[in-house]
Amino acid sequence: MAIHVFDIEKDVVMTPIISKDARLVIGPHSGASTATFNHVVLEPGEQNQPHSHPKSEDTIFILEGEGIAVDYTNGKEFPIQAGCAVHIPVGIKHTIISTGKEKMVSVGGPCPPDYNLLKACGIDITPPK
């Protein structure tokens, strides 16, 4: 075991289900057992596909831009902007929408890893038992 440093330009797996520019930086593919870390750019008007994580909490930190976090399960919308942290509990169907004139950039991801989502993105790793 040792510290690893990852480059978001080189050490990534692209995950187009999340956005046109979504990069899985840390996850089971990189040796992490309980963490995922995505770097996501949403262009103005872009949103990720509505989804839920049946066994994972999702945490997203907005670095740039503004948008809306939609909670389909409870019928609510939350305005978000740079500096906001969004926490989505297990099983909540949600999406993030970029609504500003500039791109929205965020980091974060579901923990523990959502293996079904990873498989849908082409990352076929068997979950630990």
In a domain, 126, yes or no: no
CATH number at residue 57: 2.60.120.10
Residue 121 confidence class, pLDDT cut points 50, 70, 90? confident
Tens of pLDDT, residue by residue over 27-44, are 999 999 899 999 999 999
- Tally of domains in the chain: 1
In a domain, 127, yes or no: no
Q: Taking the mean position of all CA atoms in its chain, how far away is CA 89?
A: 13
Q: What pLDDT sits at residue 127?
A: 78
In a domain, 54, yes or no: yes
In a domain, 37, yes or no: yes
Q: Taking the mean position of all CA atoms in its chain, how far away is CA 28?
A: 14
Beta-bridge partners for 64? 105
Q: What mean pLDDT is reported for the chain? A: 94
In a domain, 100, yes or no: yes
Domain that holds residue 105: 13-120
Q: What pLDDT sits at residue 125?
A: 83
Residue 23 confidence class, pLDDT cut points 50, 70, 90? very high
pTM reported for the whole predicted model: 0.93
Half-sphere exposure of 44 (CA within 13 A, CB side): 3
Judged against a pLDDT cut of 80, whether residue 129 lies above it is answered with: no
Q: What is the DSSP string of 79-122?
A: EEETT-EEEE-TT--EEEEE-SSS-EEEEEEEES--HHHHHHTT
Of all residues in the chain, what percent carry a pLDDT higher than 70?
A: 100
In the three-class reduction of DSSP (H, G, I as helix; E, B as strand; rest coil), residue 71 is classed as strand
Tens of pLDDT, residue by residue over 65-100, are 999 999 999 999 999 999 999 999 999 999 999 999
Q: What pLDDT sits at residue 1?
A: 75
Beta-bridge partners for 104? 42
